[in-house]
A and B are shown apart, each in its own frame.
Chain A
Amino acid sequence: MSRSRNLALASAVLSVLAAPAFAEGLGLGRPALPEEIVAWDVAVLPDGTGLPEGSGDVLTGEEVFAEKCAVCHGEFAEGLDSWPVLAGGAGSLTDRRPVKTIGSYWPYLSTVFDYVHRSMPFGQAQTVTVDETYAITAFLLYSNGLVEDDFTLSKENFTEITLPNVDGFYPDDRAETEYPMFSTAPCMADCLDAPPQVTKRAIELNVTPEDPDGKPAGTLPPIMLTAAEAPGAPVAEAPAEEGAAENAADAEGSQANPALIAAGEKVFRKCAACHKVGEGARNITGPMLNGIVGRVAGTVDGYKYSKPMAEAGAGGMVWDAAELAAYLADPKGFLPGNKMSFVGLKSAEDRTAVIAYLGALGG
């Protein structure tokens, strides 16, 4: 929605609403002139109310579209990136992923004219002239196979066009079709036939905004002392963690080297878009990497691995420094079919550094 928001609204003038009595009393504002109201009232309704005088043909529309619209919607109205597709989609409304265009979904042609004239192009609203709007609308009809290439759309023939899905809508009927179904006495006990199973996890969709620490955006700050800080809590925990970090570093045959670890932290920026580390790290596109050094491959809880990676782990492959270095040098070549779409780290120095960094993270 935000892409199509009319930015001009922020500076809109509200003088049309100013009551005359109020204006007289305070000396503010004035009644809107009829000409001003006409200029502001750009709404076009399904029965043609509000259509301005003018016309435009398909070929002109194609040129205007290429100049003003194609940068987002594509030369053929096919939609670039995630911008709306404007052509095609007929018969797709019962598909898993329907394509909603004026040819497949929109009920009224007036909506196309109204919206293009009122709000397009994005960021430059109301720079399309009336005739250009008729032409673009004609081109979109042509792109959807609804008119021939010699067609000219005008105020006069506008309401003769009926879009294919005009009868595809019906007013809200929930009161009849849903409310009786959902208004039975609620079950209070023994409501399930089988124990509930988790079938979908939002975290795997990777659409939840996160704070820099990897927690869901807006997570409330702790208001309690942590267990380690709480009075009377066992004090042995912190030293034990330090020991674990040292062991991890030792396991790969190098002493903890702060400079190397710091360098590795910088290298890790290349990885951080897909891998989280540190306290509370979660799986996102890739698995979280706490304790990766020394862990059996494919075993981070809750991450859905590729088949080759899962099999490598089942076969006993352990991510020691040598295996990690080989993997990071050539991710695809090391284990064909794995999910990591990363070109790899060409520099042996970078690989050593990032492995030292990962080793220092501990579990």
Chain B
Amino acid sequence: MVPGFEGNMWVKWVRRIAVYDQAVEGREETSKYTDLMPDGRARKWTWVMDAKSVITSPSPQAPIRHGAGPLVITGLAWSGNGKIAQVDVSVDGGNTWAEARLSGDVKPKALTRFHFDMTWDGQEMLILSRAVDETGYVQPTKDALRAVRGVNNVYHNNAMQVWWVRADGEVENVEIA
């Protein structure tokens, strides 16, 4: 268990523990979990997950089945750099945002549930959430991340996730610009 670090560091089986005075530079450590940048060089030892969030309902696996009317948009946010301070939700593809409620006891590096109450008019929506952590880091768009990291850099994708909600309540995973 390594709270705040990328998931692959949450080791499944411990066979033995050895302590070295230098990096072992194992196969996964060098060839897989390094982050190739647009200039052809690569970041290494990138372990912390930056602030991230995702809407869990509605989502492709949790479509809206009750039709137009009161709707609670909910999801999870987390940050490897501390507590979640704020989560904003947009239902118009990121043009306007409103702050969501956080529930429970917000702890550092822990999943934090957010809720956003609204009335759905039954029209299509592009919904997304945006986490802000206690350091002031704001979860970026995918385009903003690509501008820095290029397109061959996936292990630390903490970009905002966009869901396309259809009028029939079905939800699709999309990118927008």
A interface residues, Cβ below 8 angstroms from B: 1, 4, 9-10, 12, 14, 16-17, 40-41, 43, 45-47, 49, 93-94, 96, 98, 100, 105-108, 110-111, 114-115, 119, 168-174, 177-179, 181-192, 195-203, 208, 215-220, 222-224, 227, 280
Contact = CB atoms under 8 A, between A and B. Distances in A.
Contact of A107 (B28, B30, B38): B30
A187 B97 contact: yes
B60 A216 contact: yes
A228 to B, nearest CB: 13
Interface in B105-159: 126, 130, 132, 135-140, 144, 148, 151-152
A198 B164 contact: yes
B23 interface: yes
A115 to B, nearest CB: 4
Interface in B64-92: 65-67, 86, 88, 92
Contacts of B26: 43, 111, 114-115
Contact of A192 (B41, B95, B175): B95
Contacts of B61: 215-220
Instruction: Tell me the interface secondary structure of chain A in the complex.
Output: loop
Contacts of A224: 65-66
18 contacts: A1-B32, A40-B15, A43-B20, A43-B24, A169-B34, A172-B43, A172-B44, A174-B48, A178-B50, A178-B148, A181-B144, A186-B130, A188-B96, A192-B95, A198-B176, A200-B175, A218-B61, A219-B62
B30 to A, nearest CB: 5
A16 B14 CA distance: 11
Contacts of B34: 169
A94 B40 contact: yes
B148 A203 contact: no
Contacts of A45: 20, 22, 24-25
Interface residues of B, number: 69
A223 B57 CA distance: 14
B42 A202 contact: no
Contacts of B152: 98
A23 to B, nearest CB: 17
B140 A182 contact: yes
Contacts of A114: 24, 26-27
Given A93-B40, A174-B46, A216-B60, A190 B174 contact: no
Contacts of B66: 224
Nearest to B65: A224
Contact of B38 (A94, A171, A182): A94
Contacts of A223: 65
Contact of B136 (A4, A169, A183, A203): A183
B30 A111 contact: yes
Given A171-B44, A201-B164, 14 more contacts: A4-B28, A43-B18, A43-B20, A93-B40, A100-B36, A106-B31, A108-B30, A119-B27, A168-B41, A186-B138, A191-B97, A196-B177, A201-B173, A208-B60
Nearest to B171: A216
Contacts of A199: 174-177
A169 B13 contact: no
A96 B27 CA distance: 23
B1 interface: no
Contacts of B38: 94
A93 B39 CA distance: 8
A179 B135 contact: yes
Return the 7 tightest CB-CB contacts between A and B, nearest first: A196-B93, A202-B173, A93-B40, A200-B175, A115-B27, A172-B46, A12-B15
Given A186-B97, A216-B61, A46 B40 contact: no
Nearest to A6: B15
Given A186-B88, A196-B95, A222-B65, A108 B25 contact: yes
A203 B175 CA distance: 11
A192 B20 contact: no
B124 to A, nearest CB: 10
A86 B137 CA distance: 39
Contact of A170 (B30, B43, B48): B43
B41 A170 contact: yes
A332 to B, nearest CB: 31
Nearest to B13: A9
Contacts of B48: 172, 174
A220 B88 contact: no
